[in-house]
Amino acid sequence: MPERLEYRVLLRTATTKDAIMTAAVLARAGLAPASCADLPAVVEAIGQGAGALLVAEEVLDGGGAGELAHVLAMQPAWSDLPVLILARQGADSFALLGAMDQLANVTVLERPMRVASLVSALRSALRARKWQYELRSVLEGLRQADQRKNEFLATLAHELRNPMAPLGTSLAILMRKAPPPEVARPYYEMMTRQLDHMVRLVNDLMEVSRITRGKIDLRLEVLDLGRAIRDAVELSRPLLDARRQQLQVHAPEEPLAVRGDGVRLTQVFSNLLNNAAKYSPEGAGVKVSITRAGANAVVTVIDEGAGIPPDMLASIFDMFVQVSGTARAAQGGLGIGLTLVKSLVELHGGTVEASSAGTNRGSRFEVTLPLAERECVETERAKPPTAALGLLGSILVVDDNRDAADSLCELLALHGARTVVAHGGAAALRVATETRPSVAILDIGMPGMDGCELAVRLRQDPAHGELVLIALTGWGQQNDKERIARSGFAHHLLKPVDVETLITLLTTLSERGAGPPEP
């Protein structure tokens, strides 16, 4: 409400003459008086905003005090409107005593009084009222922060569910068909992409403050925009299929290269496709086109759904905004997908615009991204396993999760490494004494003797003076990294491990001569 209403002094005096005189006095003192003809007018004015109420004792006769108390009891929790009663000279009346019992924040001023006393009392009341408004702002800020937290967690859960659909489908296919390696490879590649997507989201969860400030780090590379569209379609396909919607994708024959973060761009287009699917009826069509416009690439997503009213187009990308009446059709929706789209597109130096012919006439979203200066897009080449890891000597893998430890050993063996495994701290000390490894990959969060304690005990043994310690853990906060470094680790990798990063690290250690220790 306007501030001028929040700090006005409501007047309910005994006579019209008193109201005119009091209002003139308060106005000369720089206050904002507002006369009320009767108690219902006072009630209405309080609802519009008030800093204090100045009321004559005569108004409280005949049940007026109880009625006023009932109105003030309806205030929100933060509000305690100051009430100043202009009392008649002499003994306290039943009306005054009743008002003092029923009204919480009440001050009694006996007439006649000096003008300075009246103005001083009102200014004190208004200062107290200002503190109430500040408390309201704090409570509202806390409410909004809690809402943002809940919305963020709900969004994260929503985003994590998207990759689960193709992962589950691929696993089901592989388990039922047991295809040969050349047939299974596309499924493994799909699962790897979805896993990478989930890992990035989990990493974002560990940096909540960074996300809420909009400080999302982009991993920029020159990539084919069509690939990001195909990955987005892969993410959104289960929803489109469930609603029996027909998707048409039109892309140029030659790739359009942009400099961007593939995971984030996939998130942008998947959000747009999901919106198109959720806000369109079953069996409707969704169209995606990729075109070139000068130095830019333009991706357009068109649906046949609920559309956007003209008055909503300007705010459709604001946080938590939803088109009225569409929440049920969108299966609830969180109202933040388009905000994420806009933020991520702008981080890529692009723009996104929405247009619609109106309610139930479909929507059109157009994302414009600058083309990369270098038009050619490098294609990834599979790196053959290397036998160089065999020069390291044995690699000790320690993790209380047996599946995690054993699968990592098997993966390293495919790259020529010799591995030994232990599933706990005590077992690791024994195995290390027997095998004298040159590298140890340790989990940190183990029960009993954790990875940091194990590292300290290994470092205390002169026989392991040349042992290279690598932490492989889910603990990735700054204080975790500092504690791990103090324990003697040379390297810190986060779970799930990026295979190429780990193999590159081990290959580098091998090239530096971290081979088998001298017997």
Beta bridge partners of 472: 493
Nearest alpha-carbon partner for 14 in 68, 54, 70, 69 = 54
Calculate mean pLDDT across residues 235-256. Answer: 90
Query: Residues 78, 135: contact at Cβ < 8 Å?
Result: yes
Rounded Cα distance between 151 and 137, Å, is 21
User: Worst-scoring range by mean pLDDT, 18-22, 165-169, 173-177, 395-399?
Assistant: 165-169
The predicted pLDDT at position 515 comes to 47
Question: Which contiguous run of DSSP H or E holds residue 424?
Answer: none
Chain segment 186-216, per-residue pLDDT in tens: 889 888 888 877 776 676 555 445 555 566 6
Nearest-angstrom CA–CA distance, 425 and 151: 40
Instruction: List Cβ neighbours of 220 (8 Å cut-off, separation of 6 or more).
Output: 259, 260, 261
Q: Tokens in use for 183? A: 């047939």
Q: What is the pLDDT of residue 376?
A: 43
Q: Which of 69-73, 258-262, 511-515 has the highest mean pLDDT?
A: 258-262
Tell me the pLDDT tens digit for each residue of 77-119. 899 999 999 988 876 777 677 777 777 788 989 888 899 999 9
Cβ 74 vs Cβ 44: under 8 Å? no
Whole-number pLDDT of residue 381: 41
Digit-coded pLDDT (tens) for 23-50: 999 999 999 999 999 888 988 899 899 9
- What single string gives the DSSP state of each residue in 355-399? E-SSTTS--EEEEEEEBPSS---PPP-PPPP-SGGGGG-EEEEE-
In whole angstroms, give the CA distance from residue 59 to residue 75: 21
Q: Give the model's pLDDT for residue 293.
A: 93
Greatest CA separation found in the chain?
108
Q: Which residue has the tokens 């038009």?
A: 375
| 325 contacts 308 by C-beta, under 8 angstroms | no
Tokens of 471: 């932490």
Burial string for 104-140 (b: 16+ CB within 10 Å, else e) reads ebbbeeeeeeeeeebbebbeebbeebeebeeeeeeee
Q: Give the chain's mean pLDDT.
A: 83
In angstroms, rounded to a whole number, what is the distance separating the alpha carbons of residues 451 and 483? Answer: 11
Predicted TM-score (pTM) of the model is 0.44
- C-alpha to C-alpha distances, 33 to 42, 286, 340, nearest whole angstrom: 13, 60, 47
CA proximity to 492, closest of 501, 500, 390: 501
Distance between CA atoms of residues 337 and 345, nearest Å: 12
The model's pLDDT over 432-465, given as tens digits with 9 standing for 90+, comes to 999 999 999 999 988 889 999 999 999 999 999 8
Model pLDDT, residue 208: 46
Is-contact 336 155, C-beta < 8 A?
Answer: yes
